[in-house]
Amino acid sequence: MTLVASNFLGGAKSRLLPASIPFRYFGAAAIFHLIFWVALFLGAEDLPRYGGGQGPLLAAIHSLTLGVLAMTAMGAAFQLLPVATKAPLRAVWPTRLASWLMIPGVALLVLGMGTAHHEAQALGAAAAVLGLAIFAVLVADNLRRTSGMVLVTGNAWGAVAALVAVLGLGFALIVDQEHGLFEHHGRVAATHMILAVYGFMGLLAMGFSYILVPMFALSPAPDVGLGRTSLAFCVGGVAVAASGALAGSTPLGALGGALGFVGIVLHLRLMTEVMAKRMRKQLGPSFVLVRLGWAFLPLSALLGIAAASDLVPRAATFFGAAALMGWLLTFVMGILQRIVPFLASMHAAKTGRAPPLVSALTPEAPLKVHFWCHVGALASIGLGLVLDEVLILRLGAAVGAAGAVAFLAFFVMVMARLKAQGGGAKP
């Protein structure tokens, strides 16, 4: 008998990367997640009034942004973008090369920031910048070869553009510490932060949400027109806010925040509609994290406007905590709880058998521990910031670290179950 899947299978297998590619990034993210909480514990006394500078807190911030968020973005984008765009990567080796540069590069950068060792920082930053530059080129090449999935590709183009600016500014900031390139180091750092958080990671997270959330929740696809409007406001908001930060202009910063806030509200309206129409009513703790992350997203934008306008004392600290921990970390950990076993199931299917159920690959106990620890850590950090109390901040970081250990255990258990299915990956 002849069996033909006439219009879909072409190139489908080549769009599924070796399991070791996405899982090495997710494994690294799980380890940097633990390093983040430990570094935050060590640098907690600087957190309530942090205004930049070397030490454990700077190391914590970059463990989170580069180690957890960017690493997850790379693993997810390398695997999911070619599937979404139906355009396979031209070669697999650049994804490996990017990991060899990125993972040790971020480790060295974080170590250098934590110990104020300039050479380590510069070397680590150079490696991480090269790794992320390879990522940007691969994503851009993939997007260039597709015309479908407009919401995903539109957001991804915006993310790539922001990433290019983030990389240039980030490396320049490291050089500036020793050689004094900029008259206003703080302004450049604020621009770097806005572009990294809302431009690169934010747009990528929103873009992937348009396919991942309906897929996991069994919902209809979101409205494309409204999604485009949201994207336009978000891109405009990021561009104006970043320009305002660079120029030291309060009105521009506030205007950018306001534009971004409108884009965020539209995005959340789409996500709310998707969730309301879902057929899968019970989505577990992972989606509680996703929703918690969404709740922090508009709050972070409002705090950003307050920080840009000097309306609230210490607003910049609350803004950073809400954007990085409340929104992005919470959202990304919720998504990771889903996509790690999901991709494990896909890779187990490559061995020629029917894929195992995702639920069979998901160890629930460590996820529950991680969930409660994460929520407890957020609550403690928030309370510690409001009360300006280092002990509560340290308690929050310690609870977060316990959650990170649980998440690491979850990751190792999923890898063990994948290996038992015959689809083992070396993380």
Binding footprint of other proteins on the chain (CB under 8 A): 1-9, 12-13, 15-16, 79-80, 83-86, 148-149, 152, 211, 214-216, 218-221, 277-284, 342-343, 345-346, 349-350, 354-359
Nearest alpha-carbon partner for 328 in 301, 359, 357: 301
d(CA 152, CA 122): 34
Taking the complex as a whole, the smallest distance from the CB of residue 281 to other proteins amounts, in Å, to 6
| Residue closer to other proteins, measured from CB, 158 or 284 | 284
Decide: 45 and 397 in contact? Cβ < 8 Å. Answer: no
| Residue closer to other proteins, measured from CB, 83 or 413 | 83
Give the gyration radius of the chain's Cα atoms: 21
Query: Collapsing DSSP states into helix, strand and coil, what is residue 421?
Result: coil
Taking the complex as a whole, the smallest distance from the CB of residue 1 to other proteins amounts, in Å, to 6
d(CA 89, CA 17): 9
Taking the complex as a whole, the smallest distance from the CB of residue 338 to other proteins amounts, in Å, to 9
User: Residue 256 has what DSSP assignment?
Assistant: H
| Residue closer to other proteins, measured from CB, 212 or 266 | 212
| Residue closer to other proteins, measured from CB, 155 or 219 | 219
| Residue closer to other proteins, measured from CB, 9 or 179 | 9
Taking the complex as a whole, the smallest distance from the CB of residue 71 to other proteins amounts, in Å, to 19
Q: Which helix (H) or strand (E) holds 355?
A: none
Taking the complex as a whole, the smallest distance from the CB of residue 340 to other proteins amounts, in Å, to 13
d(CA 257, CA 191): 13
| Residue closer to other proteins, measured from CB, 216 or 294 | 216
| Residue closer to other proteins, measured from CB, 140 or 211 | 211
Taking the complex as a whole, the smallest distance from the CB of residue 359 to other proteins amounts, in Å, to 6
Per-residue burial over 262-300, b = 16 or more CB atoms within 10 Å of its CB, e = otherwise: bbbebbbebbeebbeebeeeebbbbbebbbbbbebbbbb
| Residue closer to other proteins, measured from CB, 7 or 179 | 7
Taking the complex as a whole, the smallest distance from the CB of residue 296 to other proteins amounts, in Å, to 25
d(CA 40, CA 34): 10
Taking the complex as a whole, the smallest distance from the CB of residue 369 to other proteins amounts, in Å, to 18
Q: 90-97: list long-range contacts, CB under 8 Å, 24+ apart.
A: 90/141, 92/17, 92/18, 92/21, 94/134, 94/137, 94/138, 95/17, 95/21, 95/138, 96/21, 97/131, 97/134
Query: Collapsing DSSP states into helix, strand and coil, what is residue 299?
Result: helix
For tokens 């299917």, the residue is 349
